[in-house]
Amino acid sequence: MIRSFEQAKESLEATIFMVTHDSFAASFCDRVVILRDGVVWRTLEKGATDRTAFQDQLLDAIRDMGKE
């Protein structure tokens, strides 16, 4: 399913908005907005980072959120 989104994004030059609680699925995104209590808490940009490293960044951010 995620690969289908990626293919559509590339071929249609489209923006895809996805809501998930899954860091693995989120790691395929170019930008992730993390909400806490319905308010934007942090925004992460993938940039040139590979997917696995980006997932690690997401998990670190989630851990940080739990510390506050």
Q: What is the pLDDT of residues 10-30, one digit of tens each?
A: 888 888 888 999 999 999 999
Q: What is the dihedral of CA 40, 45, 49, 55, to 10 degrees?
A: 20
Q: Which domain holds residue 42?
A: 2-67
Terminal alpha carbon distance of the chain: 34
pLDDT at 37 over 90: yes
DSSP state, residue 49? -
Query: Which of these, 33, 26, 21, lies nearest to 51 by C-alpha position?
Result: 26
Of the candidate ranges 6-10, 27-31, 52-56, 60-64, the one whose mean pLDDT is the lowest: 6-10
With contact defined as beta carbons under 8 Å apart, do 5 and 27 qualify?
no
Report the chain's mean pLDDT, rounded to a whole number: 91
In whole angstroms, give the CA distance from residue 68 to residue 21. 19
**Domain tally, the chain:** 1
